[in-house]
Amino acid sequence: MADRKVRVRFAPSPTGPLHIGGVRTALYNYLFARQHGGDLVLRIEDTDSSRFVPGAEDYILEAFRWLGIQFDEGVGVGGPHGPYRQSERRDVYKQYVRQLLDAGRAYVAFDTPEELNARREATPNFQYDARTRGSMRNSLTLGAQETERLVREGAQYVVRFKVEPGEEIHVDDMIRGDVKVLSDILDDKVLYKSADELPTYHLANIVDDHLMEITHVIRGEEWLPSAPLHVLLYHALGWAGTMPRFAHLPLLLKPDGKGKLSKRDGDRLGFPVFPLEWHDPKTGAVSSGYRESGYLPQAVVNFLALLGWNPGTDQELLSMDELIAQFDLAKCSKSGARFDYVKGLWFNREYLQHTPDAVLAPEFDRILRQNGIEAPMDRVEAVVGMMKMKKINFVRELWPLCDFFFIAPQTYDREDKFVRKNWKEGTAAEMTELAALLEGVADFSAEGLRAAVDPWCQEGGRKPWNAWRVCLVGTGKGPDMYELAAFLGRGETLERMRRAVAALG
């Protein structure tokens, strides 16, 4: 076991959009695989056809492409252990169902849903297990001949795992340690259904983990209750020697209050719980996604990585490479991680500031066009560069901060606080003087303007900045004045100054 190559898997069921908790699970698997030079497999667990949702698989692939999480093997990639969709592996599972039946570790049960419901109603807390299986309709009570006859005649049946009571089961969990469970509390889970000739999640999951040579099962805490059964299955199938180690990740908790994070929390507080926007194929309802809401994929990755783990220092901004180097599965917390979406906004703001202007510009260009503005991409990029440091969480927040780059102030509002404070007696004359100076500046770049205007200010003790801002912007916002004037160019700068002087006097 020690010298086996690390192989982990992400095994979503395509039952809808991938929840953000699932994204974190995949990310931790990815970090663990990369850090150990191992493989990450993408397996689609679609044996429950009643819960299948069209489009979900494509959505999953697209989400990871966007996030920069690559799979080494699996659906969409291929590899030597395929097929990687469980619905295409029917025949693989049958022989293991047979093996468990032959070894007496499983049995055939004919109880109909109606019969089971009747039992549940008659017996509070009814569980199909060692205490009750003797009074049900199964191969243990009916005998081999009768069972064979029923199967031959086409009766529907399921195969159940035969859990022996009185056994202490140990789950070796890298986060929670040695988790002990008494087998008496487990029920005889259904492993296979004749109706669709498919195994259930439990059997398919174990068989595939074994055949795909998975060494570590890293998954959400909600799967911890299934783990004792999985351990028993490994033993029953004779695979205990290569049983993967488990790591059950802490739950993601509501941003406020108690309980686990749900889609409703996102709707209530206004943040996405899915990586990409999701269009429900049945209802047509649209759920927001991180991508469409304007998050950068690196910010989402960094934010999620720190929900349940931290590097043990106060470093919060970690690139994917730093995460790979520093991530430590054993140091994940056992208790749930609060989903602090406000912190997610902070991460996005930080990443925006460190993202090249050219990468952000197309998104801002889209927003400009929505506002009826068409500008050459280098102009768009220049504005992003001047303004992205202004503590914005999203590129779209640039528009109200930046409209004046593209649209000259139409009116000058004397009641505006900034205008009132900075437009005084003598201001108009000073602006006219400044305009005359600008007319003669040869180099109208920010540096050229600085070289020409700074000495004029110093020699007269002048402070024209705020009034000049009133002229070019109309109010108290915007970047450095030299950068702004250079961006607007001589003609537009002088025109705006002339109009302000005329309007404000």
- CB contact set of 421 (below 8 Å; sequence gap of 6+): 466
Determine if 223 is a binding residue for ligand GLU (CB under 6 A).
Answer: yes
Considering only 8, 11, 191, 446, the residue that binds ligand GLU (CB under 6 A) is 11
The site map against ligand GLU for 241-260 (x = CB under 6 A) is: --------------------
CB 223 within 8 A of CB 196: no
- CB contact set of 393 (below 8 Å; sequence gap of 6+): 294, 345, 348, 349, 352
Q: How do 278-279 and 106-109 pair as beta strands?
A: unpaired
- Nearest CB to ligand GLU, comparing residues 136 and 273: 273
Q: Is 406 exposed, middle or buried (0-12, 13-18, 19+ CB in 10 A)?
A: middle
How would you label 83-120 residue by residue, b for 16+ Cβ within 10 Å and e otherwise?
ebbbbebeeebeebbeebbeeebbbbbbbeeeeeeebe
Instruction: Give the range of 6-14, 88-96, 170-178, 310-318 binding ligand GLU by CB under 6 A.
Output: 6-14
- Nearest CB to ligand GLU, comparing residues 139 and 205: 205
CA 377 to chain centre: 30
- Nearest CB to ligand GLU, comparing residues 219 and 349: 219
Residues of span 105-144 touching ligand GLU by CB under 6 A: none
Q: Which amino acid is at 33?
A: A
- Nearest CB to ligand GLU, comparing residues 227 and 431: 227
Active site (annotated) includes residue 263: yes
Smallest gap from Cβ 486 to ligand GLU, in A, equals 55
The residue written with tokens 């970690």 in the block is 318
Instruction: Give the range of 5-13, 151-159, 377-385, 395-403 binding ligand GLU by CB under 6 A.
Output: 5-13
Distance CA 185, CA 167 (A): 10
The residue from 193, 260, 263, 477 that is catalytic is: 263
Smallest gap from Cβ 12 to ligand GLU, in A, equals 5
Considering only 19, 160, 216, 219, the residue that binds ligand GLU (CB under 6 A) is 219
Q: Which amino acid is at 339?
A: F
Residues of span 24-53 touching ligand GLU by CB under 6 A: 45
- Nearest CB to ligand GLU, comparing residues 223 and 394: 223
- CB contact set of 47 (below 8 Å; sequence gap of 6+): 86, 87, 198, 199, 200, 201, 204
Residues of span 162-201 touching ligand GLU by CB under 6 A: 201
CB 456 within 8 A of CB 462: yes
Instruction: Give the range of 7-15, 129-137, 232-240, 416-424 binding ligand GLU by CB under 6 A.
Output: 7-15
Smallest gap from Cβ 18 to ligand GLU, in A, equals 9
C-alpha closest to that of 84 among 9, 141, 158, 4: 9
Q: Which amino acid is at 193?
A: K
Q: Outline where DSSP puts E strands in 224-341.
A: 245-249, 252-253, 278-279, 286-287, 337-338
Q: How do 168-173 and 252-253 pair as beta strands?
A: unpaired
Smallest gap from Cβ 17 to ligand GLU, in A, equals 13
Smallest gap from Cβ 449 to ligand GLU, in A, equals 59
Element (H, E) at 243: none
C-alpha closest to that of 352 among 380, 388, 306: 388
Smallest gap from Cβ 226 to ligand GLU, in A, equals 7
Smallest gap from Cβ 161 to ligand GLU, in A, equals 16
Instruction: Give the range of 11-19, 131-139, 256-264, 369-377 binding ligand GLU by CB under 6 A.
Output: 11-19
Distance CA 474, CA 412 (A): 6
Instruction: Give the range of 10-18, 34-42, 248-256, 298-306 binding ligand GLU by CB under 6 A.
Output: 10-18
Distance CA 378, CA 390 (A): 20
Considering only 8, 13, 67, 228, the residue that binds ligand GLU (CB under 6 A) is 13
Considering only 138, 147, 205, 393, the residue that binds ligand GLU (CB under 6 A) is 205
Q: How do 337-338 and 252-253 pair as beta strands?
A: parallel
Distance CA 6, CA 13 (A): 23
Smallest gap from Cβ 230 to ligand GLU, in A, equals 8
Smallest gap from Cβ 9 to ligand GLU, in A, equals 7
Using CB under 6 A as the binding criterion, the count of chain residues that bind ligand GLU stands at 8
Query: How open is the CA angle 34-300-333, to the nearest 5 degrees?
Result: 65
In the complex, the residues that contact ligand GLU under the rule CB under 6 A are: 11-13, 45, 201, 205, 219, 223
Write out the catalytic residue numbers: 263
